Structure 1
Amino acid sequence: MPYLTSAVLGAALLCFAFLGLRARRADGPLDDYVTARNSQGAQSLGLSFLASGMGAWILFAPPEIGAFVGPVGLAGYAIGSALPLVILVRYGPAIRRHLPAGRSIGEFAEACYGAGVRRWVSLISILYMACFLAAELTAIGSITALLSDVPPALVVFGVAVTTLIYTAVGGLRASLATDRWQAWLLLGLLLLVTVVALDRLPTMPADASLPSVPLGSALSVALTLVIAVTAANLFHQGYWQRVWSARDDRALGLGAWLGSAITVVVVAVVGVLGMLAAMSGLALGEPPIPFFALLAEAPGWLALPALVLAVSLVVSSVDSLQNGIATLVVAGSGRRGLSITAARWVTVALMVPVVIVALQGHSVLRLFLIADLLCASIVVPVLLGIWSRMSALAAVAGGMAGMFGAILPGWVAGGSLPAGILAASFPDSIPTLAPFLVALLASTLVSLLIAWCRPAPQALSNANK
């Protein structure tokens, strides 16, 4: 069986590599390598938004939220997963007009605030995506150990190397090409796994009820997830690249709506599976993994398509993240401009520490929570860049206030700065509202206050005309 599983996974990875390499433009300029500018229609974008945003995390987090928090918490997760795309529907066309030759969130920050803020924002985005990469590779290692006898490190290396090959050579076009196939594959495999798992679901006890917690706690979890997931995904460079890869504003809008709608459905479906597992009285494991508890009651052969589903989810997110990180580094090089060859080597080099971290087996959820909180601390000051009164001072001060706000609740509760920093790193891997909410409010209020009191010079000159 390990040989069959290895062969199937190897074949899937080879297919993805073939599709990505076939889509490359050997003679394309660097700009095409990192943006595939004005080339994608609505359907292609919608499937790409879905594939690049999804990952193995959907097999862990939404089912657990569904099993222990219930429908309210799950609704928060689904909304938070789709909301960044809805924001792109609203602001994407304005970003394209404001920065028609743009390539990254870093360049957007530079256009609004200057080179210093660009470097700061690019660093935060790279740190977030590196955490995302490490979490995804950690997750596929854990899933491999759960569902097969294949060495987890082998699959981690296989995914990292395969995606590196076609993203380093083909750039964003390679990622977009594989996204379309991966999106359909993950939808088909998720449907298969869901139908078979539900068919073998144990009979529910007569007194079974929906998992729930007190409404206040459920709303707290839901709001935490909306803030965390939305803020983090707005620093997902893969989303920003697709803003400029859209053929026009209409394609961007329709594609983002399509991606957000399917994302809500996918997160809801896997979350409901978690609820059903809990209601059926299945042993959810320690730590709890409701989705895989369902698979324990399913036929043994279902483990293989479930593993292929997990690999497809990881590959679809990893290739977008790899190309996104390379794009940020390229765009961050300013007028000097890196060559395509240098961009490829940057992609390869950045994966080395990520794979090392992934092989340590850290908590997937904790890695995401730390990255999410970092993004929530500065997301509002960055997006306020489209407001004419915002200045670099207001943005930086707001971001610093957000980071201070993130550790403030833990500092107050624990009585010391180290306690606040520890609490903001979520040692128990449990999402809590206070750090996210205080970080968001502090960054917003400080940014608005300074922008109002000391507006940007161009805002003053416009006001005097």
Structure 2
Amino acid sequence: MILTHSIALLAALCLFTWLGLRARKTSDNLDDYVTARNSQGATAIGLSFLASGMGAWILFAPPEVGAFVGPVALAGYALGAALPFIVFAILGPQIRKQMPQGRSISEFADQRFGKGMRHWVSLISVLYMACFLAAELTAIGAITGLLSDLNGQLVIIGVAVTTLVYTAWGGLRASLATDRWQAVLLMALLAAVFFVDWKHLPAVTESAELPGIPFWSAVSVALTLVLAVTAANLFHQGYWQRVWAARDTASLWKGAALGGITTIIVVAAVGALGISAAMAGLDLGTPPIPFFALLNEAPQWLGAVALVLAVTLVASSVDTLQNGIASLAVSAKSGLTLRAARWITVALMVPVILVALQGASVLRLFLIADLLCATAIIPVLMGLWSRVNHQAAMAGAVAGLVGAILPDWVITGSLVEAIQIASFPGGVPTLAPFVGALVLSATVATALTLLRASPATQTSPD
């Protein structure tokens, strides 16, 4: 089976490389390299949103949520994964109108609130995307070990180098071109795994109950996931690139709807496999990996299919993140050449690959990065309100940091314990830090804006 797995992986990576390289535009234009401005129709944008958002995480997190927390939390997870696309469809056209030649959310923060907010937004974006990259590459190494006898570290390097080849050379157009095919391929592979796994599930006993926790606890987990995923993805530069890549507002709207609907279906379907595995009484493993527990009951050849599926998922998210981080660097430094942009893409991947090769869990870092995103996202997007100024936005972002700690500080009476809870020990998501960050940041930014009445509003009508 080693030869079969090796050939399947090599074929998939060669296909992605060929698709990416042939998409490169002939003109050496830096703006086109990072934005592919106004070039993509609704279908291309929708499939790109789907492929970019999907990663190896869907083989771990939704099945585990389904198996242990139940369908309510799974529904929240599916909604949380899709909701950012709708937010991009609503806010994206407004930001495009204000910045027709823009490239990133950090540029918008700079235009409205100055360099200080831009640097903070860029730092949060890079931290989040670097965590995402490390998590995806770490996951493909772990999946390789679960499904085959191949060296997981070699596969990590292979995926990273392959995606670098076509993203460094072809830029955003290469990522968009591969996204279309990767989206179709991952849906076909998921359908195959879903069909075969479902057939080989042990019979569910009549006494089996749906897995889950008390209803309101499940709702709390679902809401936490919606808030965390939505706030974090609004700092995903790869998604913002697609806002400017869309041909027009209609293409962005239709593409976001297509990406959102397909994302909900995919996350819900994969999570349902976790629920089925739990109801069938399978050994889910330690730590629990319901999706891969199902493969133990399936034909051996399905392992190769699942491995190609995992590589497709990882490649589709990794190439988007690589180009997104490079785009932030290009936007931050004027006068950069296309060659420099390509080398920045390569250089930024070196520390990420080194972290991924360690095989460590990055879930806790992921949650901390999500929380950082939640502290600042509302003040940044309030830039669409013309009355909000620099001081109000910065105060809101600082208040968001306080709000992430304040609820548990009040509950426990200990600042140290509150900080520890907000760092998510054990990688367990909790609602209070996210709600506190969002509510306090919005409240302070809004209050300062309303208190700062313009002279025109203070004058008497007569």
State the TM bucket, normalised to the shorter chain: over 0.9
Once residues 236 and 79 of structure 2 are traced to their aligned partners in structure 1, the CA distance between those partners, rounded to angstroms, is 17
Q: 1:462 to 1:304 in 2, by over 3 A?
A: farther
What corresponds to 1:125 in structure 2?
125
Kindly provide the CA deviation profile for residues 290-333 of structure 1, in whole angstroms up to 9, marking residues without a partner as x: 11111111111111110100000000000000000000111111
What corresponds to 1:394 in structure 2?
392
Superposition deviation, residue 423 in structure 1: 2.1
What corresponds to 2:24 in structure 1?
24
The structure 1 residue matched to 2:401, chosen from 400, 403, 428, is 403
Alignment RMSD, CA only? 1.7
Equivalent pairs counted in the alignment come to 460
What corresponds to 1:223 in structure 2?
223
What corresponds to 1:381 in structure 2?
379
What corresponds to 2:261 in structure 1?
261
Q: 1:167 to 1:95 in 2, by over 3 A?
A: same
Superposition deviation, residue 418 in structure 1: 4.2
Q: Which moved more, 1:195-204 or 1:357-366?
A: 357-366
Q: Secondary structure at the match of 2:295?
A: helix
Contact 1:66–1:271 (CA under 8 A) maintained in structure 2: yes
Q: 1:100 to 1:463 in 2, by over 3 A?
A: farther
Q: 1:90 to 1:463 in 2, by over 3 A?
A: farther
Once residues 461 and 238 of structure 1 are traced to their aligned partners in structure 2, the CA distance between those partners, rounded to angstroms, is 41
Once residues 252 and 68 of structure 1 are traced to their aligned partners in structure 2, the CA distance between those partners, rounded to angstroms, is 36
Alignment of 1:143-292 (within 5 A): 143-292=143-292
Superposition deviation, residue 108 in structure 1: 1.2
Superposition deviation, residue 49 in structure 1: 0.5
Once residues 409 and 356 of structure 1 are traced to their aligned partners in structure 2, the CA distance between those partners, rounded to angstroms, is 36
Once residues 260 and 285 of structure 1 are traced to their aligned partners in structure 2, the CA distance between those partners, rounded to angstroms, is 31
Q: Secondary structure at the match of 2:155?
A: helix
Superposition deviation, residue 460 in structure 1: 5.9
Q: 1:356 to 1:410 in 2, by over 3 A?
A: farther
Superposition deviation, residue 434 in structure 1: 1.1
Q: Name stretches of at least 5 consecutive residues in structure 2 with no aligned partner.
A: none
Aligned partner letter, 2:269: V
Superposition deviation, residue 400 in structure 1: 1.3
Q: 1:346 to 1:411 in 2, by over 3 A?
A: farther
Once residues 335 and 328 of structure 2 are traced to their aligned partners in structure 1, the CA distance between those partners, rounded to angstroms, is 12
Contact 1:61–1:365 (CA under 8 A) maintained in structure 2: no
What corresponds to 1:110 in structure 2?
110
What corresponds to 1:369 in structure 2?
367
Q: Which moved more, 1:419-428 or 1:32-41?
A: 419-428
Q: Give the structure-2-normalised TM-score.
A: 0.96
Q: 1:206 to 1:174 in 2, by over 3 A?
A: same
Q: Which moved more, 1:23-32 or 1:13-22?
A: 23-32
Aligned partner letter, 1:86: I
The structure 1 residue matched to 2:356, chosen from 349, 355, 358, is 358
Once residues 302 and 78 of structure 2 are traced to their aligned partners in structure 1, the CA distance between those partners, rounded to angstroms, is 26
What corresponds to 1:65 in structure 2?
65
Contact 1:377–1:443 (CA under 8 A) maintained in structure 2: yes
What corresponds to 1:338 in structure 2?
336
Q: Secondary structure at the match of 1:428?
A: helix
Contact 1:201–1:294 (CA under 8 A) maintained in structure 2: yes
Alignment of 1:47-66 (within 5 A): 47-66=47-66
Superposition deviation, residue 15 in structure 1: 1.1
Alignment of 1:292-303 (within 5 A): 292-303=292-303
Q: 1:42 to 1:321 in 2, by over 3 A?
A: same
Once residues 282 and 358 of structure 1 are traced to their aligned partners in structure 2, the CA distance between those partners, rounded to angstroms, is 30
Aligned partner letter, 1:174: A
Kindly provide the CA deviation profile for residues 52-72 of structure 1, in whole angstroms up to 9, marking residues without a partner as x: 111001111111111111111
Kindly provide the CA deviation profile for residues 61-110 of structure 1, in whole angstroms up to 9, marking residues without a partner as x: 11111111111101111111111111122112111111100101111111
What corresponds to 2:309 in structure 1?
309
Q: Give the structure-1-normalised TM-score.
A: 0.96
Q: Name stretches of at least 5 consecutive residues in structure 1 with no aligned partner.
A: none
The structure 1 residue matched to 2:447, chosen from 449, 455, 458, is 449
Kindly provide the CA deviation profile for residues 146-170 of structure 1, in whole angstroms up to 9, marking residues without a partner as x: 1111111001101111111111110
Superposition deviation, residue 43 in structure 1: 0.4
Once residues 364 and 440 of structure 1 are traced to their aligned partners in structure 2, the CA distance between those partners, rounded to angstroms, is 23
Superposition deviation, residue 265 in structure 1: 0.4
Once residues 98 and 118 of structure 2 are traced to their aligned partners in structure 1, the CA distance between those partners, rounded to angstroms, is 16
The alignment status of 1:8 with 2:29, answered yes or no, reads: no
Q: Secondary structure at the match of 2:112?
A: helix
Alignment of 1:135-150 (within 5 A): 135-150=135-150
Once residues 7 and 457 of structure 2 are traced to their aligned partners in structure 1, the CA distance between those partners, rounded to angstroms, is 65
Superposition deviation, residue 463 in structure 1: 8.5
Superposition deviation, residue 437 in structure 1: 1.1
Superposition deviation, residue 421 in structure 1: 3.1
Superposition deviation, residue 422 in structure 1: 2.8
Once residues 124 and 415 of structure 1 are traced to their aligned partners in structure 2, the CA distance between those partners, rounded to angstroms, is 29
Contact 1:132–1:367 (CA under 8 A) maintained in structure 2: no
